[in-house]
Amino acid sequence: MAGNRKFGDRIRSLREAKKKEDPAFSLRKFAQAVGISPTFLSKVEKGEFAPPAPERIKKMAELLGVDADELLALANKMDPDLSDIIKDQPKAMADFLRTARDTGLTVEDLRAITEKMRRQND
Amino acid sequence: MIDVKFIPETHIERAAIELMAAYGQKYGDVAGPPIPAEEILECHLELSLGFDDLAKRFGEPGILGATWIEDKNVLIDQSLDPAENPRIEGRYRFTVAHEVGHWVLHRHQLVAARSAPLLNKTPEPSIICRATAKKRPIESQADRFAGYLLMPEEMVRRHWTDTNGSQSPYVAQDEIAQLAAQLNLAKDDQPTVGVSKRMAGAFHVSGQAMQIRLINLGLILTKKPPPSLFA
């Protein structure tokens, strides 16, 4: 199983920073809270095993207090929510995403559009 | 391999008690068993704990743990992962406490004894701990430290009184003989008696480790005491 060193290093450094203050971030307790075995977590952190499933990564992000999308991106995984969103509107949503990509929108453009849509929705 | 200095028994026990007290000051007193061995290692001493297939890594079977002092890194053999094998919890915790023992008692000697690692070579661990019956002094010191850390005298005695109603010892000679016959044990194998198993459950240690501690504290007697002259 190919590992992911960047993801492992990130999880390990976040967890090690937290564990100094809170024993809930020990290897075993954190693994238990995420729903994986300590051996598996240990090997993921060392970059020997591939990151766990997206749901577990989201749980890690929640416990470590970081953005789930950042960890999912490091793990080269997609939030299952996103595939559900596309499945709900397979044609329109796929068209929307492809158009956004093909029109060459920058990250700033995407953020501005997202913010505008959010405001309209409020 | 280094020849470790002799450390008096009282120093080993005091080191374990002081470590517990320092942990308690930072994270809150440990009011009762089980002793948080992993948290002491990972949070208080700030060592990294991990699991690995140590037989594969070092090319020999029977390795339980290894510590890299300079890297502040401890690896435990994955066969001891308690999430994969809950029955081995006691042995796992004892191994963790044993590695804590090396850190507390031996780290300065181990660092001093180490020759500079070759460039571009993964450093060898400062110490590798094997499951062998005959142990070198450095290993038996770490074992004794683990016993004191996981089963502090005051806590064991309090639990004994809560369970048995007094500090009176239990004469286990008959139960040991009966169990040895039932289990068809060799002459030198000592079976674990009921009270050791029950106490072991509370302290999350093996029945065997608890029995050794109870015998050392004089709470289990393996032979009937001679009649008292004053009886």
Among B42, B52, B83, the residue with its CB nearest the CB of A19 is B42
Contact A26 B51 (CB under 8 A): no
In whole angstroms, what is the distance from residue B87 CA to residue B49 CA?
20
In whole angstroms, what is the distance from residue B12 CA to residue B138 CA?
12
pTM of the model: 0.89
In whole angstroms, what is the distance from residue B171 CA to residue A31 CA?
43
In whole angstroms, what is the distance from residue B115 CA to residue B120 CA?
15
E-assigned strand segments in chain B: 48-52, 63-68, 73-77, 127-130, 170-171, 220-221
Interface check for A35 against chain B (CB to CB < 8 A): the answer is no
Confidence band for A122, pLDDT divided at 50, 70 and 90: confident
pLDDT digits (tens, 9 = 90+) for B22-73: 999 999 999 999 999 999 999 999 999 999 999 999 999 999 999 999 999 9
The helix/strand/coil state of B15 is: helix
Chain B residues near residue A3 by CB distance under 8 angstroms: none
Name the amino acid, one letter, at B45.
L
The predicted structure's pLDDT at residue B231: 57
Confidence band for B122, pLDDT divided at 50, 70 and 90: low
Classify the complex by whether its ipTM is higher than 0.90, answering yes or no.
no
Which chain B residue shows the shortest CA-CA distance from A40? B51
Residue B185 pLDDT > 90 = no
Bridge partners (DSSP) of residue B67 are B74, B127
In angstroms, the separation between the Cα of residue A48 and the nearest Cα of chain B is: 10
The predicted structure's pLDDT at residue B134: 77
